[in-house]
Amino acid sequence: MSARLKSPQFWIRPEIQALKAYHVPDPGDSIKLDAMENPYTWPEPLVDEWLEVLRDVELNRYPDPGARALTERLREAMQVPDNAQIVLGNGSDELIQMLALAVAQPDRVILSPDPTFVMYRMIADVAGLCYESVALADDFSLDLDAMLHAIDLHQPAIVFLAYPNNPTGTLFDHAAIESIIEHSPGLVVVDEAYAPFTDASFMPRLDEFPNLLVLRTVSKMGLAGLRLGLLAGSREWLNEINKTRLPYNINVLTQASAMFALEHKAMLDEQAGLIRKERRRMLDVLSAFEELTVYPSEANFVLFRVAKGTADAVFGALCEQGVLIKNLNPAGGRMQDCLRVTVGTADENTRFLAALEKALGVSG
């Protein structure tokens, strides 16, 4: 038998071979401001209470396959309308994958703006779907005419809209999103991963649009380690999408931990409020740097553009000072010369801003 037949190059789809795996850098001892995480930990007494809850979890038993108690707790916490159905995923990434698998057929299209969350494209490629993107306007707002034209041209099975958008932090115009929902032949998924940091949401409007689904995660609330996402929408859609969910996808530790954490949602909301306050300070200070173009943000991060050709040098100088942020310059296109910083604690942000001032001096 030919050795070639036994090689991955023979059997793995060319689209998969062409992909680059999602890379997460090792932060080492650096201040970690690259992954849009909540920087706050729990007080020790609360950690002790949580560990007591976990003592009663039966690891020898399969979890509740429908995570029924957790689903109802999330419905209340995220104010999901009573008429909407909920499907939970191992992070919102799994829910995006379930959506793609549910509609996947040759030549079907997933469409979204560009730049946006990279997993929409990656999951479309993995599922064997075509992916089409529409460039955002110069200020990173939606180009509505271009979006509607692309919808007419490609007839997408799913349109993904991150709201607020990642990596730009911008909040798309709600009237433009309404037009896209009404104009789309298939699903429109409004991805509200950053809901804790904005007052805008399409969750209350699920009953108005039969082809609208809303995606949420607990990650940005301060529970990124639990890997728990939520998809809400009409029962007609979610009954079908739920068929792509693998059994027992929400493990017992996640179910117990999320139930406990959501009993203390007031603390998580308070942390989100601190992040919002620090975001305002970060935007004000960054905007004072003449070398930077700073973009408005409704998320827990700030996108800024440095002088042409200096992004890698600024990023490297920050790393040398023990501050890790996200270098978007290698992505090219609209992200050329751009860096993105997560809003951390007040101390972390102060140290970042001091390090950035030095880095800009070095790169200049």
pLDDT-derived band of residue 261, with 50, 70 and 90 as boundaries?
A: very high
Cα separation, 148 vs 28, in Å, equals 45
Within 8 A by CB and 6+ apart from 74, the residues are 80, 86, 88, 230, 258, 262
**Separation between Cα atoms, residue 100 and residue 104, nearest integer Å:** 6
Q: Which two tokens stand for residue 44?
A: 């020790």
Question: What are the start-end ranges of the H helices in the chain?
Answer: 8-11, 14-17, 44-55, 68-77, 91-103, 118-127, 144-154, 174-183, 235-241, 252-262, 265-287, 311-320, 346-363
CA dist 76 and 61 (Å) reads: 27
- Find the helix or strand (DSSP H, E) in which 57 lies: none
Which tens digit of pLDDT belongs to each residue from 82-97? Answer: 999 999 999 999 999 9
CB 150 within 8 A of CB 132: yes
> pLDDT at position 364, please?
47
Percent residues over pLDDT 90 in the chain: 90
Confidence of residue 2 (pLDDT cuts 50, 70, 90): low
For residue range 123-180, what is the model confidence (pLDDT) as tens digits? 999 999 999 999 999 999 999 999 999 999 999 999 999 999 999 999 999 999 999 9
Query: 107: which DSSP letter?
Result: T
pLDDT given at position 15: 82
Give 96-112 pLDDT, tens digit per residue. 999 999 999 999 999 99
Residue 49 has φ and ψ, to the nearest 5°, of -60, -45
- Mean pLDDT of the residues in the chain: 95
Residue 179 CA to residue 175 CA, distance in Å, equals 6
> Is residue 164 reached through a cis peptide bond, with omega within 30 degrees of 0 on the bond before it?
yes
Given this model, what pLDDT does residue 8 score? 85
Distance CA 73, CA 113 (A): 32
| Residue/partner pairs of 308-317 with CB below 8 Å, 24 or more apart | 308/337, 309/337, 310/337, 310/363, 310/364, 311/336, 311/337, 311/338, 311/339, 313/359, 313/362, 313/363, 314/339, 314/356, 314/359, 314/360, 314/362, 314/363, 315/339, 317/355, 317/358, 317/359, 317/362, 317/363
Q: Domain 58-263 falls in which CATH fold?
A: Aspartate Aminotransferase; domain 2 (3.40.640)
Residue 329 has pLDDT above 90, yes or no: yes
Distance CA 167, CA 116 (A): 6
pLDDT band at 13 (very low <50, low <70, confident <90, very high): confident
C-alpha–C-alpha distance, residues 267 and 330, integer Å: 37
Query: For residue 198, what pLDDT band results from cuts at 50, 70 and 90?
Result: very high
Torsion of CA 19, 24, 26, 30, to 10 degrees: 140
pLDDT of residue 362: 55
- CATH code matching the domain that covers 3-43+266-363, chosen among 3.90.1150.10, 3.40.440.10, 1.25.40.20, 3.40.50.300: 3.90.1150.10
Three-state SS at 313: helix
For the chain, how big is the Rg over CA atoms in Å? 21
User: In the predicted model, is pLDDT for residue 24 greater than 70?
Assistant: no
pLDDT at res. 17: 84
Burial class (CB in 10 A: 0-12, 13-18, 19+), 364: exposed
300 touches 343 (CB < 8 A):
yes
Q: Report helix, strand or coil for 189.
A: strand
pTM: 0.94
Q: Mean pLDDT, to the nearest integer, of 188-192? A: 98
- Asked whether 223 and 199 are in contact (CB, 8 A), the reply is no
| Non-local CB neighbours of 354 within 8 Å, separated by 6+ positions | none
pLDDT at 14: 86
Residues 6+ positions from 220 with CB-CB distance below 8 Å? 36, 37, 38, 193, 194, 195, 196, 197, 300
Burial of 23 (0-12, 13-18, 19+ CB in 10 A): exposed
| 30-40 mean pLDDT | 94
- What pLDDT does residue 93 have? 97
For residues 98 and 22, the model is more confident at 98
Domain boundaries, the chain: 3-43+266-363, 58-263
Q: Of all residues in the chain, what percent carry a pLDDT higher than 70?
A: 96
